[in-house]
Structure formats: C-alpha cells, structure tokens
Structure 1
Amino acid sequence: MSYKFHRQVSAWRQARAGGPVSGQGLPVIVLVPSDPLLFNASTGDMAMISAVMHFCRETWPDARFVVLTAGDVADEQVRQAGAVPCRVLDGSLSFAETMTRIVSHEPTHCVTIGADVLDGSYDPVFSALLLMITDMLARRGVKCVVTGFSVSASPYPGLGTVFNETCQDIVFNLRDPVSFKRFGRLSRARCELVADVAFLLKPQMDSVLVRGVGDWVDVQRAKGRRIVGVNVHPLVLELVDRHEIDKVVRNLAALLIELVEEASLSLMLVEHDFRGTSADAHCLGPLYDLLEPRVGEFVFLSKDRLDAKEIKAAVSKFDGVISGRMHLMIASLGGGVPVFGIEYKEKMVGLLNHVGLSAESLTTAREIISDPVAVRQKLSVFLADLDATRAAVVAKGPALKAMSSLNFAGLTNG
C-alpha cells in the first residue's frame, strides 16, 4: 500500500498544475461522491448527496450536476438522480486524462462529499485520489468545498502530506469536535468545524412507506408502549473479528427481549445500508429471527427499502434509536430523537459531543459480546432519560442546522 500511495502522490505533484477552466455559462457542479461504485446504496450517502443537491438547486435553479463515478451501477443511479455521470474513478485513467474528462463539462463548482472516507482508515489510496482531484479543480479556478467528514483515531499518516499540499483555496470541513482536533494533529491545512451536511435533509412525511410505519407506531402506542428503532451491522467489528458478529446479534437479541418484556418497548429494525457484505440485513435478518418467536407482536422489520428522506421521517415518530450507523443517528438527532450508539471507528463520540450528549450513550460490539450486563445498564439509563434527552436534542436543533449550512460557505462566498 505504501508504494502505491507514494507513487500516486508523485504522479499528482507532476500533474496538478493546469490552466483555468473556461466555464462561462450556467453553474455546473461536480459532485465527488464517497462511493463512486454504488453511489447511493448507503442511505447516509444518499442523505448527504440529497442535501447538497437541494441546497445547490435552491441557490442556482438552473444548475447542472456532474457526478464522478467508477462503474455502471453508479452511472445509472446518477442518471436517475437527474445528473450526468463522468467515469473517472475506476482506476483506469491518468491524472491528465481524468482532468480532461472532468474539465470538458466546464465545471464552475465542486462538492466533495467528505463522509468517513478521507482519513485513509479504509483505503488511503482512494482517500488521496478524491483529495487530489478536488485540489486539481481548485487550482484551475473551480470553487471547491469538502463537506464535513470524520477523522478516526488512526488516520493514515501519509495523508497529512496530501492535505498540506492541496490548494490553499480549499477549506476542509470537519463534522464534529473530536474529528476537528484529530485533523489539526494530522495536517496544517485550513479547516473549519461544521455539522454533518445531512442535518439539512428534509424528511418526506407523506410517503406510503412512512405512513405504514406511522400506522404500526400508532398501534403500538395504543398498547401503552414506547417505540425504539434498532440498527446493527457487520462493520461494528473490525474485519479480523468479523467472524464474531453472530455473538453480537445473539447477545443484543437477548438484551432487547428483556427490554421489550420489562420496559414496555416496541422495536422497529431499521435498515440503513445495503452494500454487499457490510449491509445491515446480514445482522437485522438474524436479529429479527431471534426476536420474533419471543416478542414478535412488538417487533417490525419493513420488507421495503426506505430512502434517506423517508427514514428521517420514520424515526421522528420514535421515542429513541439504538444505532450502529452514524447517519441513522444524524437522522434521528435531526428530528429531535435521542440516540444510543454502537460505536465503530471511534467517530460517534464526536457526534454526541456536537449535540451536547455524553459518551455514556455509547457501547461497542466488543462490550456487547464480553459484558452484556454493562450494556443492559447503559440501555436502562438511556431509556429512563429519554424525555430529558429529547428536550436537550430539540433545543440544539437550530444550532446544528446553522452549523450544517457552513459546509457551503466556500461555494457562495466571493
């Protein structure tokens, strides 16, 4: 990996200079997605992209979108979203060829979706590629922003050099205070603290699927029960430990059965990511199979896929959410709903800090395996404090939306 990374850095240094883009017409906005293969198979990605496109269309009603892609699936999904795919991220092109294809669209603006792919903790070569393309567009006079992203506890050290050498017109937006501090240790590049752009996503309250969730919620409330959403997925364990995911599911099922029976809870299992081996279904299907024989009357797993706007609408009807997905937590918090997180990549604590909540509302897959009694105690405290936590989250909502809007400062200033 180190050799490939350093070879890429060398190629970028040789290719990054270039003349200005000649775009003179309507705004043409390049989107650099965090998943150029599947585009929106992650509901979190869908939430961020939808929020970005909505902002841009409100600002420039005639704007056109060009999305950088890496495969046929993404190309088709981009077209369905009303944008134009530009196949440059499949690894087959040189930097010069990549820029030729992008510049042919005469871009005026670029939005790079930061998410959690820019610190190299998954793939430093891919992280560097997204940063380098953004840099080369900025050097050519395109207004570029990088929306709020996370920095894990172990970012790839070599990326500090890439961040430091990017065009000084780029401001890197960090989406939580912990990531902001980590980025400051990694790089000297300009950075700002914002909130995740998905806090701006507008819920779709009137869809058929959301009304179906609402009907189920109404039935459960009529029985005097509180409603809690639940999400867990394979990535809550690192790859080397992934073989133990069945232990996570079994122990979590036992805890939830206790809470359903003793705390008058009803549970909706919420699918939020549909990408291959990391899809939520690999955990939520087995979890439902364990819950249904014991507490099936109080458990719901939709057979239909809710999109990002529908999920934000659906979870707003809940009393709380237990989530292994950060963007499900964001959807919940954005609707004033308290969250209990199953941490991974050490990034959820920053989100909780952002909304004024403590890390006591966090567990880990390892703790679920090794100390379910402790997890049970944490969940009991979380449930006992739901009303007070909801009031605090609702009060924080306007400030979070204002901080989320800061993601776009670099697009509209000047």
Structure 2
Amino acid sequence: MQRNWKRAASRTLLGASRVVAGMNAKLRDPASALIIPPASPGSLGDAAMITSAIAGLRRHGMTRTDLLTASPWPIDQQPDEAVDMEAFLDRGSRTSLARGLPRLSRYGHGYLIGADILDGVYHPEPVLTRLAVLKEILAGGGEATIFGSSFSETPNPTVVDELRALPQNIVIAAREPLSHERMERLLDRPIRLVADLAFLVEPVSEPEVVKNTFAWIKHRRTKGQRVIAFNINYLHEKSNPGLTAAATSFLSKIVDADVAVVLVPHDTRTDRSDYVLAKSAAAGLSDLQRESIHLLNATTPCDVKSVMASVDLLVTGRMHPAILAMGTGTPAFSMVYQAKFEGLYRLLGLQDCDLLIDPQAFCTRPDQAAARTLTLLENGDEIRAIIQSNLPNVRTLAEGNFTSA
C-alpha cells in the first residue's frame, strides 16, 4: 500500500514538473548546454572527455555550459554550474527526475559523453537514465547529441532497442571506425564518425606534481636511462588474479634493462584501484630497482598529458592514457579489452605496428611483454612518425563532436 502511494505521488510530481518544464521552455537559451558524464568522478579518462567537452562547446559558441553531477570532478575546465540529478542517473529516482525537469527544459543543447558505457555491457540502467535526460531536453525543444563512443559486438539488447528508437534528430557519434561500423549495422541509423574528445586536451598549467616528475625524468636521463610510463588497470585483475605479480615481474625486467618507469594510475575508484595496484606492483621490487620508479600523483588529465610528452613509450591497461600519450606523439603499447583499442589504433594508422596485447598474455608471460616493450623503444622514432602524420586528421575528427551538420 505504501509503495503504491509513493508511486502515485511520484507520478503526480512528475506530471506537475512537466507542466512547469513546458512553461520554462519559453526561457530556453539556445546557447546553453548540459553535459551528461558517463559515470561518477574517479576516472581521469572521463575527466579528460569532460574537460574537452566544456572547452569545445565554449569554443563553438556556447555561453553557458553546465555539468550534470553532484560531486566535483578533477577537471581543467570547470562548468558554469553543477546540476544534481544523481539519484535519477544512478538509481532511476522519479523524484530526482521530477525535480530536474524544469531545469532541463531551459537548455538549448544536451550532450551525453557515451564513452565506453553506451553499449550497456557494463550496466544497462545508467545508459537508459542518461538517454532519458537527453530525450527530456529534446522534448523541451532543445537539441541532443551523443559524443563519440565505443560499441562492442555484444551490446545489451535493451540498450540497443532504446538507441534504435531514439529520434533521428539526436546525433550519435562513434569515436573510431570499428565502433562506427558496428553502430550503423546494429542500430540501423546514420552514425557520425569522430575521434575521442580526449585528443583535444591541452595542458593549461604546470603544477608542482608535473614539475617534480619532469625533474625526476631529467635526472634519470642524466644517468643514461630511457624512460617509459606504465598504467595498470584494476578491471583486468578480475579475470587475471595474477596481474599485480605479473606487473612486478614486468617492471623488474624493464628496470634491469636500464629503463626508468613513471607509474600512471588512471582510476581511483574501489579499494583495488589502479593507484593501489601500481603501488603494490612497485612494492615487490628491490630497493635499488625502486630508485628507477616514480609514481605520478596526477590530479587532472592535463597533468598526465604533460608528462606523456616527456616519456619514450607508454605501456597501459587503459585507453585514455594511450590517447593522452599518442596525442603528444608518444607511442602506447596497450592491453586490449571491450573491443575499444583496435579501432583507435586503426584511426592512427598503427594497426600493423604490433602495439596491442591481451591482458591474459601479459599476465602469463610478462617477460615477453617486457621484451616487446624494449623492442618498441628501439623502434620508437618510426612509430612516432606514423602517429604525427595522422594526428592532424584525428584532431579534426575530434572537433567533429561539436559540429551541427
């Protein structure tokens, strides 16, 4: 009985809010935008896309750019205002939606950062709630866009149905050619080919954490060492319990080859985050070996991109450190998952450069991964040349996230 009463009350509130939203639509500002993030704070990759989205929208004429979030993000470009509808985004709360509706009707544009969540493989519910926000903005007379996303061969069927049913005037973009092909085939609608927003991240300052890392890299180079960066992804540990031990073995072989390593944690969520795993992997080294290891305590995507420009190679379990590195011309040797990497490397002309490795292969044969890393260091100039020749086109594609045509 109480549950039925609550449902009826929420329906009444939702109906009243739609009436107010309809009235507020007259106050809609065509040059205002609301950005919908793919998740809660904790990922530097998501922060990179938000940073670029805010900067890009302002560059393309938006005079007001807000962010749908209840918590602050570690970003280099701050929104004009944070809008809290977290209870709806995360739990589907109708009360939260009703409270937000009058605000949504005032935006001229809504932008969803689809990232790697859009296919619903991780969880379908957060995708569906985010799409619902886009549709409400569209219903109020605004425009809606889904920024460049990845899409696997095995998307969630409910999410696929919802995406197929979206109005044709909602722009959906894919961030690399393989996802573009999958989305057009599975969603049966035109999809815009772009590149990831993070390719547009531009460092705006040089904080102490970056200065200290530059000084450390310079010191190691004076000792004749080459320098790589290394990221470990806690998501890989679920199916590869030996990940940390393999990372320790990998680092040991790299350092013994007279190569220094900057550890680059990417995601701070969960008690087994990238940060925790990186520190655990380094803890398994000898005191002498750890002299060639430096932990980058980056707080924003720009911190990471600044440092990536100063290393010779990145070895990574996550895609956005690879994008931030290759956006500076630095090659990235990546552990693949969720069918996200292959299209990215094709976009940069690197599909034949043997720069991808399965996480299981890394865990079972870290010695081979280390050997491949050392080989890539020797061939770095050739790979850099390929990246640099393709970067202008990739950046142009990334700007395509913001075009209306």
- Same-fold call, TM > 0.5? yes
Structure 1 vs Structure 2: percent identity of aligned residues? 26
- Provide Cα deviations, 1:211-263, integer angstroms capped at 9, x if missing partner: 111111111111121110000021124x4x36x1xx1221222122222222x
Indicate yes or no: 2:31 matched with 1:27: yes
1:259 aligns with 2:272: no
For residues 79 and 86 of structure 1, the distance between their equivalents in structure 2, rounded to whole angstroms, comes to: 18
CA–CA distance in 2 between the matches of 1:299 and 1:96? 47
Q: Deviations over 1:39-82 (max 9, x none)?
A: xx211111111111112223336x2233223x5x3599999754
**Is it true that 1:395 corresponds to 2:393 in the alignment?**
no
Q: What residue ranges of structure 2 are gaps of 5+ in the alignment?
A: 1-10
Which structure 1 residue ranges, 5 or more long, are not aligned? 1-10
Counterpart among 338, 342, 348 of residue 335 in structure 2: 342
- CA deviations 1:114-155 (Å, max 9, x no partner) are 111110011112112212321332243212211111112321
Pick one of 269, 276, 285 that aligns with 1:275.
269
| Change over 3 Å in CA distance of 1:214–1:385 after alignment to 2 | same
Q: Report the more deviating stretch, 181-190 or 79-88.
A: 79-88
Contact 2:160–2:186 under 8 Å retained in 1: yes
CA distance in 2, matches of 1:78, 1:23: 30
Structure 2: distance between partners of 1:75 and 1:221: 34
Please give the TM-score of this superposition, normalised by the length of structure 2. Answer: 0.87
Superposition misfits of 4+ residues, deviation over 4 angstroms: 74-81
Match of 2:44 in 1: 43
- Is 2:293 aligned against 1:299? yes
Q: Output the TM-score relative to the length of structure 1.
A: 0.85
Partner of 2:199: 199
Number of aligned residues: 385
Cα offset, 1:190, TM superposition: 2.3
CA deviation digits over 1:299-332, x for unaligned, max 9? 1113x33311111111111111001111100000
SS at match of 2:121: coil
Matches within 5 A, 1:159-178: 159-178=159-178
Checking the alignment, whether the CA contact within 8 Å between 2:65 and 2:79 is kept in structure 1 is: no
The correspondence of residues 20-169 of structure 1 with structure 2, limited to 5 A, is: 21-25=25-29, 27-35=31-39, 37-38=40-41, 41-60=42-61, 63-69=63-69, 71=70, 73-74=71-72, 81-87=79-85, 88-90=88-90, 91-93=92-94, 97=98, 100-103=101-104, 106-169=106-169
- Whether 1:328 and 2:321 are equivalent positions in the alignment is yes
Query: Given residue 406 of structure 1, which amino acid in structure 2 is its aligned partner?
Result: G
Query: What is aligned with 2:4?
Result: none
- Match of 1:367, SS state, is helix
Alpha-carbon distance between aligned partners in 1 of 2:332 and 2:402, rounded to the nearest angstrom: 27
SS in structure 1 opposite 2:84?
A: strand
Give the distance between the partners of 1:75 and 1:375, measured in 2 at CA: 34
Q: Hey, what's the Cα distance between the residues in 2 that align with 1:311 and 1:335?
A: 11
Contact conserved, 2:75 with 2:301, CA < 8 A, in 1?
no
How far, CA to CA, are the matches of 1:397 and 1:355 in structure 2? 7
CA 1:19 to 1:186, structure 2 compared with 1: closer, same or farther past 3 Å? farther
CA distance in 1, matches of 2:213, 2:147: 31
Aligned with residue 285 of structure 1, among 249, 264, 279: 279
Which aligned pairs between 1:218-257 and structure 2 lie closer than 5 A? Answer: 218-237=218-237, 239=238, 241=239, 244=241, 247-257=242-252
**CA RMSD between the two structures:** 2.9
Give 2:379's match in structure 1, choosing from 382, 385, 388.
Answer: 385
Contact 2:231 2:263 in 1 (8 A): yes
- 1:348-387 matches, within 5 Å, as 348-358=341-351, 360-387=354-381
Cross-structure match for 2:303: 310
Judged with a 3 Å threshold, the aligned counterparts in structure 2 of structure 1 residues 160 and 408 are, in CA distance, closer, same or farther, namely same
